[in-house]
C-alpha cells in the first residue's frame, strides 16, 4: 500500500471494485493494523472475499529502483508481485513508485519470452473514445525492435481488454511523411509495416486525440513527456476557466449557469476515469495506478487488472511473440 | 510566400505588423503579381516602406529539405534567407516547410561559431505568463553538448527579446530526481549545472505550464511531440466544450451566458498570440510561423523577427558561445 495516500485511498478504492464485481477476490498487501479498520463497513460476504497479506515495509516514492529490489524484500510492492509470481494472485495493482514497480516486476516475474522490455500502457481520451499509448515511461528509450514489440503487445491489450477487433496502430513521430524522424523511428517504421498489426504509419502528437487511432507506440521518454504534457495543458485550461469564471460577479453568475455543462466535460475528461496503466510484457498482470489516485481512480485500476487477468492477456501476448519469433 | 495560405494571409499579416511599428520596413518575397494587389489599401507612406522582391518558385510543404536546397534556388524561402545573408534584410519570416527552412537557414547562413545545431524556440502559455521551449523540431535529436548550447541560447533569447533578467532554465526529463532519464539527459544535467545559466534542474512535462520556468530545454523530437500534444489536448477540450454546450436547448442557453468568459479564456490561450518560433543558433534572425497562420498570427511572427533583430540577438548569442568556448 504505497502511493501518495497509502491505504487511506487504496483500500476504499479496492472495496469499490470488489462491490461492483461479485467474482472479484482481493488480497490486500500491507500493514494489517492500518488496513483492518478500513474494512469495518463490509458485509460478512464481502469480507469473506478479502484476505490481508501482511507486509512490513513500503517502497518510498523517491527510492532508487535498485535499492527497492535489494533492500525491500518485504515491502508491500514486492510481496504483491511475489503473490503473482507464486500464482496466488491473478494480477496486482500498485500506486507506488513507478521505477521500483517496473524494476521489481521485471526482476520477479521476468518478461514474457520474446519480449525484450515491458512497457507501461494507458488509455488517453480522444475525440470519440480513447487511444491507448505505450510506453509511458517504463523505459528511458526504445530500440526499433522494442517499438515493434510494443505495437504487437498494445494491439493485443486493446483487442483483449477493450474489445477492438483490429486496432489501428500509429508510430509517434515529428511528421507524417516517410522521411521524417530519427534513425530508430525510421527503422521501426519499416519493421511495423511487416508485423501482423494494423499499422497506419507515422502520427504526430495531436493525432493521439483525433479518434482515428487505437494504439500509439513510442519510446518511454517521449511517451512520459507527452503524458505529463497532457496533464499540464488540461490543468492550465481548468485553472484559467476557474480564474475567469471567478473574476467578477457577472462571471460567477455565468459560471453557475454553465456549471452542469462544464462538469460534464470535466467528468468526461477526468483522468481518474482512465486511471490504471498496464505493464505489458512482464509474465503476469501488473497495473500501475497514478500515485495520487483517490478511491474512485484506484478502483478503476483494480477493475482493469481483473479484466486483463480474466481475458488471459499474458498468455495471448506470449503466443503472439512466440509466433513472431518463429 | 509559402505556408498553407500563401500571400493571402502572410501579406495582410505583414501589413498589420507594418502599421503597428512605424520603424519597420518590409521586403515581401514572392510572386509580385499576387502580392501587389494585396497592397492596394496602403497609404503612400506605408507603401514606401515596402519593397517586393520577386521569387519565381515556392518550396512545397512536403518537399524534402535536400531537394529544397538543391533545386529551389529561386524559391521565396531561399531568396528570403539569401537577403538576410546579404545583409539586405535584418531578419526573415516564413510560414513554409519547417524542414526546408531549417536546412536552407543552416546551408545559407551557417550556424553561429561554437553552435553545433540551431534549434526552434517558441513561447508556450503558462500559469502566469509564458515558458519558452526549445528545440521544437529543428533536429530529430540532440547530444548533451547541444542541449547545453540550447540552454545558453534560450536564456539569451528570453533575456533579450522578452526582458527576463535571469531566466530559469529546466531540462525536460521523465522525473525530477537526479537519477532519472537516459544517458544524454544525465550528461546534459551535469553540463548545465556548470554553465552560466540559471539552471533549476530536471523538469517534467507538466512543469512547462507551472509558471516557475522561463526556458525548457529538450531535444527536437521530444519537443515537437510535446508541442503537438499540447495543440491536440487544447483542441480536444475545445471540441468537447463546443459539443456539450450545443447538446440541448438549456446547454445552448448556458453557452450564451458563459460565452464572454469562455472567449476570454480562449483568447488568452489562443496559439495565434504565440505564433512565431525563433530559429536560434543560425547566423541571422530567422522566424518560423505556423504553416496555418492567419494574418493576426503571421503579424506576431513578423513583430518577433523585428524585435530579435533590433535587440541584436545573433550578436549576443555569438558572444556567449565564444565566451563559453574560450
Q: What is the pLDDT of residues B175-206, one digit of tens each?
A: 888 888 999 999 999 999 999 999 999 999 99
Q: Chain B residue closest to A209 (CA)?
A: B232
| Apex B109 CA angle, B105 and B112, nearest 5 | 105
| Apex A178 CA angle, A188 and B287, nearest 5 | 115
Spell out which residues of chain A touch residue B247, defining contact as CB-CB under 8 Å: 261
Q: How far apart are CA B203 and CA B206, in angstroms?
A: 8
Q: Which of A126, A237, A245 sits opposite B269 (nearest CB)?
A: A237
Q: Give the model's pLDDT for residue B158.
A: 96
- Is the model more confident about B280 or about A246? B280
Q: How far apart are CA B186 and CA B84, in angstroms?
A: 37
> Taking CB atoms and an 8 Å limit, are B237 and A234 in contact across chains?
yes
Can you list the alpha helix ranges (DSSP code H) found in B1-97?
7-20, 32-35, 44-47, 65-71, 76-85
- Is the model more confident about B153 or about B266? B153
Residue B135: cis peptide before it, omega within 30 degrees of 0? yes
| Beta-carbon contacts of residue B186 (< 8 Å; ≥ 6 apart) | none
Domains B1-112+281-312 and B116-278 share a fold: yes
Q: How far apart are CA B132 and CA B150, in angstroms?
A: 11
Q: Give the model's pLDDT for residue A162.
A: 92
Q: How far apart are CA A208 and CA A199, in angstroms?
A: 14
| Ramachandran category for residue A118: left, alpha or beta (phi over 0 → left; psi -120 to 50 → alpha) | beta
Q: Give the model's pLDDT for residue B2.
A: 66
| Partners of A288 in beta bridges | A94, A277
Taking the CA atoms of residue A80, residue A81, residue A83 and residue A88 in that order, the dihedral angle to the nearest 10 degrees is: 110
In this prediction the pTM is 0.92
> Taking CB atoms and an 8 Å limit, are B205 and A260 in contact across chains?
no
Q: Where are the domains of chain A?
A: 1-115+282-313, 116-280
Q: Give the model's pLDDT for residue A65.
A: 84
ipTM: 0.91
How far A200 CA sits from the closest chain B CA (Å)? 18
Q: Cell match 505564433: residue? A: B275
Residue B198, Cβ neighbours under 10 Å: how many? 15
Whether B326 has a pLDDT exceeding 60, the answer reads: no
Whether B1 has a pLDDT exceeding 80, the answer reads: no
Sign of the C-alpha dihedral, residues B178, B322, B99, B232?
positive
Cβ–Cβ under 8 Å, residues B38 and B323: no
What length is written for chain A?
Answer: 326
| CATH class for the region spanning B116-278 | alpha beta
Q: Which of B208, B247, B260 sits opposite A232 (nearest CB)?
A: B208
> Taking CB atoms and an 8 Å limit, are A125 and B182 in contact across chains?
no
At B152, is the pLDDT very low, low, confident or very high (cuts 50, 70, 90)? Answer: very high
Q: Give the model's pLDDT for residue A326.
A: 55
3 state DSSP class of B134:
strand
> Taking CB atoms and an 8 Å limit, are B222 and A221 in contact across chains?
yes
Q: How far apart are CA A202 and CA A151, in angstroms?
A: 13
Spell out which residues of chain A touch residue B220, defining contact as CB-CB under 8 Å: 174
Q: How far apart are CA B109 and CA B100, in angstroms?
A: 14
Output the CA–CA distances (angstroms, integers) from residue B119 to B133, B166, B168, in the order listed: 10, 20, 18
Q: How far apart are CA A107 and CA B15, in angstroms?
A: 64
Spell out which residues of chain A touch residue B189, defining contact as CB-CB under 8 Å: none
Q: How far apart are CA A50 and CA A58, in angstroms?
A: 21
Q: How far apart are CA B125 and CA A65, in angstroms?
A: 35
The pLDDT tens digits along chain A (326 residues) read 666 777 888 999 999 999 999 999 999 999 999 999 999 989 999 999 999 999 988 888 788 888 888 888 889 999 999 999 999 999 999 998 888 999 999 999 999 999 999 999 999 999 989 999 999 999 999 999 999 999 999 999 999 999 999 999 999 999 888 888 999 999 999 999 999 999 999 999 999 999 999 999 999 999 999 999 999 999 999 898 888 888 889 889 888 888 888 888 888 887 777 889 999 999 999 999 988 889 999 999 999 999 999 999 999 999 998 887 65
Q: How far apart are CA B34 and CA B36, in angstroms?
A: 6
Fold of A116-280: Isopropylmalate Dehydrogenase (3.40.718)
Q: How far apart are CA A202 and CA A174, in angstroms?
A: 8
Helix (H) or strand (E) holding B148: helix B144-162
> Taking CB atoms and an 8 Å limit, are B206 and A232 in contact across chains?
yes
Q: How far apart are CA B102 and CA B107, in angstroms?
A: 9
At B315, is the pLDDT very low, low, confident or very high (cuts 50, 70, 90)? Answer: very high
Q: Which of A221, A232, A253 sits opposite B182 (nearest CB)?
A: A221
> Taking CB atoms and an 8 Å limit, are A237 and B64 in contact across chains?
no
| Partners of B123 in beta bridges | B132
10 Å CB burial of residue B8 (0-12, 13-18, 19+) is middle
Q: How far apart are CA A300 and CA A17, in angstroms?
A: 7
> Taking CB atoms and an 8 Å limit, are A208 and B232 in contact across chains?
yes
Fold of B1-112+281-312: Isopropylmalate Dehydrogenase (3.40.718)
pLDDT in tens, A27-69: 999 999 999 999 998 999 999 999 999 998 888 878 888 888 8
Q: Which three cell numbers stand for residue B81?
A: 534567407
Output the CA–CA distances (angstroms, integers) from residue B265 to A241, B208, B238, B269, B297, in the order listed: 6, 19, 11, 6, 17
- Is the model more confident about A145 or about B128? A145
Nearest to B136 by CA among B104, B98, B163, B101: B98
Spell out which residues of chain B touch residue A261, defining contact as CB-CB under 8 Å: 241, 244-245, 247, 251, 254-255, 258
> Taking CB atoms and an 8 Å limit, are B205 and A221 in contact across chains?
no
Q: What are phi and psi of B170, to 5 degrees?
A: -115, 150
Q: Which of A180, A245, A260 sits opposite B261 (nearest CB)?
A: A245
Fold of A1-115+282-313: Isopropylmalate Dehydrogenase (3.40.718)
> Taking CB atoms and an 8 Å limit, are A251 and B261 in contact across chains?
yes
| Beta-carbon contacts of residue A223 (< 8 Å; ≥ 6 apart) | A120, A133, A134, A135, A136, A137, A172
Q: Give the model's pLDDT for residue B98.
A: 86
Amino acid at each position: 500500500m504505497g502511493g501518495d495516500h497509502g491505504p487511506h485511498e487504496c483500500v476504499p478504492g479496492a472495496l469499490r471494485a470488489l462491490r461492483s464485481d461479485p467474482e472479484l477476490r482481493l488480497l490486500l498487501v500491507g500493514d494489517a493494523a492500518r488496513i483492518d479498520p478500513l474494512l469495518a463497513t463490509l458485509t460478512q460476504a464481502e469480507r469473506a472475499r478479502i484476505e490481508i497479506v501482511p507486509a512490513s515495509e513500503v517502497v518510498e516514492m523517491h527510492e532508487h529502483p535498485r535499492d527497492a529490489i535489494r533492500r525491500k524484500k518485504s515491502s508491500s510492492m514486492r510481496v504483491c508481485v511475489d503473490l503473482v509470481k507464486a500464482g496466488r494472485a491473478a494480477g496486482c495493482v500498485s500506486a507506488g513508485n513507478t521505477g521500483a514497480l517496473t524494476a521489481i516486476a521485471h526482476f520477479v516475474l521476468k518478461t514474457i519470452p520474446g519480449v525484450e522490455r515491458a512497457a507501461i500502457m494507458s488509455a488517453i481520451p480522444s475525440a470519440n473514445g480513447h487511444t491507448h499509448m505505450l510506453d509511458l515511461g517504463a523505459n528511458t528509450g526504445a530500440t526499433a525492435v522494442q517499438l515493434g514489440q510494443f505495437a504487437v503487445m498494445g494491439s493485443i491489450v486493446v483487442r483483449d481488454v477493450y474489445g477492438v477487433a483490429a486496432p489501428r496502430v500509429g508510430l509517434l513521430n515529428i511528421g507524417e511523411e516517410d522521411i521524417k524522424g530519427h534513425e530508430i523511428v525510421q527503422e521501426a517504421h519499416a519493421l511495423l509495416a511487416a508485423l501482423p498489426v494494423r499499422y497506419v504509419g507515422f502520427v504526430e502528437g495531436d493525432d493521439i486525440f483525433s479518434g482515428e487511432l487505437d494504439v500509439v507506440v513510442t519510446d518511454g521518454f517521449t511517451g512520459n513527456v507527452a503524458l505529463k504534457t497532457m496533464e499540464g495543458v488540461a490543468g492550465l485550461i481548468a485553472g484559467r476557466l476557474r480564474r475567469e469564471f471567478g473574476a467578477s460577479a457577472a462571471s460567477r453568475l455565468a459560471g453557475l449557469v454553465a456549471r452542469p455543462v462544464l462538469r460534464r466535460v470535466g467528468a468526461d475528461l477526468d483522468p481518474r476515469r482512465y486511471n490504471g496503466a498496464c505493464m505489458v510484457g512482464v509474465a503476469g498482470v501488473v497495473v500501475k495506478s497514478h500515485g495520487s489516485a483517490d478511491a474512485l481512480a484506484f478502483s478503476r485500476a483494480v477493475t482493469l487488472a481483473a479484466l486483463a487477468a480474466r481475458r488471459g492477456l499474458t498468455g495471448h501476448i506470449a503466443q503472439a511473440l512466440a509466433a513472431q519469433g518463429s
